[in-house]
Amino acid sequence: MCGIAGFAGKGPRSADDRALLGAMTSVISHRGPDDVGLHLEGGIGLGHRRLSIIDVAHGQQPLIADHVVLVFNGEIYNHIELRAELEAKGARPATNSDGEVILHGFLHWGWEELLRRLRGMYSIALHDTSDSSLHLARDPLGIKPLFIAEDAHGLLFGSELKAIVAAMPTRPPISQRGLLECATLGFTMSPTTIFEGIESMPPGTALSWRDGRITRHEHFELNYEPGTSVDDPDALWDQVRSSVNSHLMSEVPLGAFLSGGIDSSAVVAAMSQVGGGDVEAVCVGILEQGMDERPFAREVARELSVTLHEEAAAPDLLDMLPRLAWHVEQPFGDTSIAPTYLVCEAARRHVTVALSGDGGDENFAGYRRTRYDVLEDSWRRRIPNALRRGVLGPLGRVWPRGGWVPGPLRAGTLPTNLGGDWLDAYIHSMARIPEARARQWLRDGVVDGAPLRERFVDHARHAEQFSPLSRILSMDVATWLADDILVKTDRMSMAHALEVRVPLLDTDFVQWAAGLPDDAKLADGKGKVLFRKSLRGRVPNSVLDRPKQGFHLPVDRWLATTLRDRLTDVLADRNAATFDLIDPAPFTKMVDEHASGRMDRSTELWFLLMLDAFMRHGPGGSEVTAPVADTLASGAAT
């Protein structure tokens, strides 16, 4: 696991391109503290920060073969099979690194065929010196990030936004589109980012730069065609074991996160079966009532005879906010980012690689909102269109919202969801803050006028061909998973130089799961039907029968108590950059409403805190402390 950064142009970008490349890689040194490599040739620069996992002794990057230079971030899980195939064709890799199969695969198969053969998580930058071209690619599901920006000199790229910002003379302007997405969804949807002019390459896409011209193509498309996979619990378990087994390659200590939930327990159970040795598992208990998962994790660890490393945490969010903002690089709305930071910090004290259960909910309909969306879709199709549009739609706009509204009515979104189409309903159920409400407290001119729905149209067009359930799962994979869940996992793990692998998001596994019939995932209002069956007798029954518990902190309570003064300070600082983006009057009212218990305003108030932390401490922010000089930045260059 590593970080990459670089540029391409027809000539020098600066007076000292090597220093510029060093700065871009230095600012992401947390992703790879073990080594640095720089390569400059023909106006193209490749930088690499290494976290040594595979071929620790010899796998330094850039890797070079013939006329091709490579830096990449991630792991290629089928590299042994591909290596054997390439060697049979005459390839002679110089190291045992999995990156060699990318390098020699490009030479033997070409760019597009290479990407079709890779199985793994990755962001790739490859320089073909024979025609001075640069090729970039991001893995099919977006497990590893890759950002790009075009400027007058050519193309910039990096594993994090801060690597690109480091190459710019000033902080880029805030994106009007990105700010609205952060305010409503809690994240930006690829290709949008919070910065104008910087793009997140969408998952499963590739780019080629040559002579200042860019061409793009998609190299992966997930197909939900039911009946292509066997509806059998043992067959599913075999798929889990196979995927987990492929993710165990490592020359450094490897373990897993264990919360005691279904997904992490499944991964640890498979590890204990196929690993051939003791499994190291890590769990962090949040010292708040109802949020300590350690008893559940202990039960699983005892049943599976794995070693459990437990830590307790009483987090100080005020202290954490600057670090969260620096690493997540945008006003991030998912409060579970904080406990994720803590569990990654704890895991790094014991292992360098950790397997995670991310992806189980998206594969097997584990979210409650997914079940509601499918149920609402069945109701919607039974209601005459005139009634839906003429009565339920207007009713939804005046329906009361608040903590007192009964849970089954989904905090007032039910009439709205029934009054629109399936895409409107999906956006309403996923958005943290309704678009109309967010626009009321964002200042005029700081967000664009295009409706939020437009961001989803391309994904929806692809999903339209699927069943109602597969439609929702497809949308989740393309948006929520790629731009919230995996962003959180990548940034918080890399903050601690911890590699996190996600076997339930292996492309072969995800495609197999997509081919299951709907009722193998969701039946009688319950999700993960076949997945639970596959785990019977393999994990404790209490894990399978216990209600889903999210990984969160009591941020709603803290915003009314310990964090209230910070909210007041933010709203009082009229000289802060945050004040240019939001109207403080509505937020002042929300602080009072939340503290009194009249209304739950935690989502809006968390956004305010994260927005202010981002403006101050995010990439290019007004209060960013310059990183300690990187002693490796001038070395290992070619």
Each residue of 258-275: pLDDT tens digit? Answer: 999 999 999 999 999 997
Q: Would you state the pLDDT for residue 502? A: 98
| Alpha-carbon distances of 175 from 162, 185, 325, 330, 626, rounded to whole Å | 15, 15, 17, 11, 24
From CA 357, how far away is CA 345, in angstroms rounded? Answer: 17
Q: What is the 3-state secondary structure (H, E, C) of 562-618?
A: CCHHHHHHHHHCCCCHHHHCECHHHHHHHHHHHHHCCCCCHHHHHHHHHHHHHHHHC
pLDDT digits (tens, 9 = 90+) for 455-504: 999 999 999 999 999 999 999 999 999 999 999 999 999 999 999 999 99
Q: Is the pLDDT of residue 407 over 70?
A: no
From CA 132, how far away is CA 156, in angstroms rounded? Answer: 15
Q: Share the mean pLDDT of the chain.
A: 91
From CA 392, how far away is CA 404, in angstroms rounded? Answer: 21
Categorize the per-residue pLDDT at 388 as very low, low, confident or very high, splitting at 50, 70 and 90. low
Q: Would you state the pLDDT for residue 15? A: 82
Of 2-6, 48-52, 215-219, 288-292, the one with minimum mean pLDDT is 288-292
Q: Would you state the pLDDT for residue 636? A: 45
E strands, 42-140, in order: 44-50, 63-65, 68-76, 120-128, 133-138
From CA 373, how far away is CA 376, in angstroms rounded? Answer: 5
CATH number of 233-365+481-545: 3.40.50.620
- Look at phi and psi of residue 631 and say left if phi exceeds 0, alpha if psi is from -120 to 50, else beta: alpha
Categorize the per-residue pLDDT at 399 as very low, low, confident or very high, splitting at 50, 70 and 90. low
**Gyration radius of the chain over CA positions:** 24
Domain ranges of the chain: 2-218, 233-365+481-545, 368-477, 555-617
pLDDT digits (tens, 9 = 90+) for 307-328: 999 999 888 999 999 999 999 9
Paired tokens of 570: 């933010």
| Alpha-carbon distances of 7 from 47, 153, 279, 293, rounded to whole Å | 9, 9, 41, 44
In the chain, % of residues over pLDDT 90: 80
In the chain, % of residues over pLDDT 70: 92
Q: Would you state the pLDDT for residue 389? A: 59
CATH number of 2-218: 3.60.20.10
Q: Which DSSP helix (H) or strand (E) runs through 522?
A: strand 522-523
Question: Nearest CA to 191 among 203, 208, 174?
Answer: 203
Give the residue-averaged pLDDT of 428-434.
92
From CA 492, how far away is CA 481, in angstroms rounded? Answer: 15
Question: Nearest CA to 195 among 333, 329, 326, 322?
Answer: 329
Q: Phi first, then psi: give them for residue 26, nearest 5 degrees.
A: -65, -40
Decide if 558 contacts 565 (C-beta within 8 A): no
Q: Would you state the pLDDT for residue 575? A: 87
Q: Would you state the pLDDT for residue 13? A: 85
Q: Would you state the pLDDT for residue 635? A: 42
Q: Would you state the pLDDT for residue 390? A: 55
Q: Is the pLDDT of residue 557 over 50?
A: yes
Long-range contact set of residues 421-427: C-beta below 8 Å, sequence gap at least 24: 421/380, 422/373, 422/377, 422/380, 422/468, 422/471, 423/453, 423/456, 423/457, 423/460, 424/453, 425/373, 425/376, 425/377, 425/380, 426/373, 426/456, 426/460, 426/472, 426/475, 427/452, 427/453, 427/456
Instruction: Name the one residue in this structure whose structure tokens are 């994090």.
Output: 160
- Alpha carbon of residue 421 to chain centroid: 28
From CA 603, how far away is CA 542, in angstroms rounded? Answer: 32
Decide if 5 contacts 157 (C-beta within 8 A): yes
Q: Would you state the pLDDT for residue 462? A: 93
Q: Phi first, then psi: give them for residue 55, nearest 5 degrees.
A: 45, 60
